[in-house]
Amino acid sequence: MRVLGVDPGLTRCGVGVVEGVAGRPLTMRGVGVVRTPADAELGHRLVAIEQGVEQWLDEHSPEVVAVERVFSQHNVRTVMGTAQASAVAMLCASRRGIPVALHTPSEVKAAVTGSGRADKAQVGAMVTRLLRLDAPPKPADAADALALAICHIWRAPAQNRLQQAVAQNRLQQAAALHAAKTSAATPSAQKGRTA
């Protein structure tokens, strides 16, 4: 599985591509940051992020795009910028028919370091170790993007099994409901024919 991780942000949007499967060594295919000038107009910044994400999609052809789920912070302005950059990444992937997975920061930290409260240095150190890199990717946004991709690769099999179980359960419930409606309708239909 090849996953493009996106750590959304208006000034620095981290991007990283990881390939592999759960339980086996993973390989980094690319890492970087899409940057926009803080003094540029918002619309221009979002277009720059779109263009950057599109280049990564063109170059790496990921099967899935994993994006950090935006959560509420005290700084509403920061949250808004993060949410806008996140939406751009999701739009780019969805326009191409590429599935999008959202992971919370604590999910990513727990998957990569074993603790949902890990700091950026710990995440960077574990990403370096897991991907057998010489040094932690800089800036931290780039390491976070790789951590998102790793998290998705490791969690996808369990999530897929859960989704399949839920879908199977819904299918069984729908079949049971249909059978109940059919059996309830059948006697009255037969009564109408014999009358």
Active site residues: 7, 68, 141
Average pLDDT, the chain: 90
Q: Say yes or no to pLDDT of 191 above 60.
A: no
Mean pLDDT of 74-102: 92
User: What DSSP character marks residue 69?
Assistant: P
Q: What are phi and psi of 45, to 5 degrees?
A: -65, -40
d(CA 98, CA 79): 25
Mean pLDDT of 101-126: 95
d(CA 74, CA 45): 23
Would you say the pTM of this structure is higher than 0.85? no
- pLDDT tens digit sequence for 27-39: 999 999 999 999 9
Closest among 41, 95, 104, 21 to 68, alpha carbons compared: 104
Whether 171 and 25 have beta carbons less than 8 Å apart is answered as: no
Q: What are phi and psi of 87, to 5 degrees?
A: -65, -40
- pLDDT tens digit sequence for 26-73: 999 999 999 999 999 999 999 999 999 999 999 999 999 999 998 766
| Four-point Cα dihedral 23, 26, 32, 34, nearest 10 | -40
Mean pLDDT of 104-111: 95
Token duo for residue 187: 């006697």
* Amino acid, single-letter form, for residue 118: A
Closest among 86, 90, 27 to 57, alpha carbons compared: 90
User: What pLDDT was estimated at residue 152?
Assistant: 96
Q: Say yes or no to pLDDT of 165 above 70.
A: no
Mean pLDDT of 88-99: 97
Closest among 105, 176, 194 to 144, alpha carbons compared: 105
**121 pLDDT band (50/70/90 cuts)?**
very high
Give the SS3 label for residue 137.
Answer: coil
Which range is least confidently modeled, 52-61, 102-111, 132-141, 150-159?
150-159
Token duo for residue 30: 């690319």
Please tell me whether the peptide bond between 136 and the residue prior to it is cis, using omega within 30 degrees of 0: no
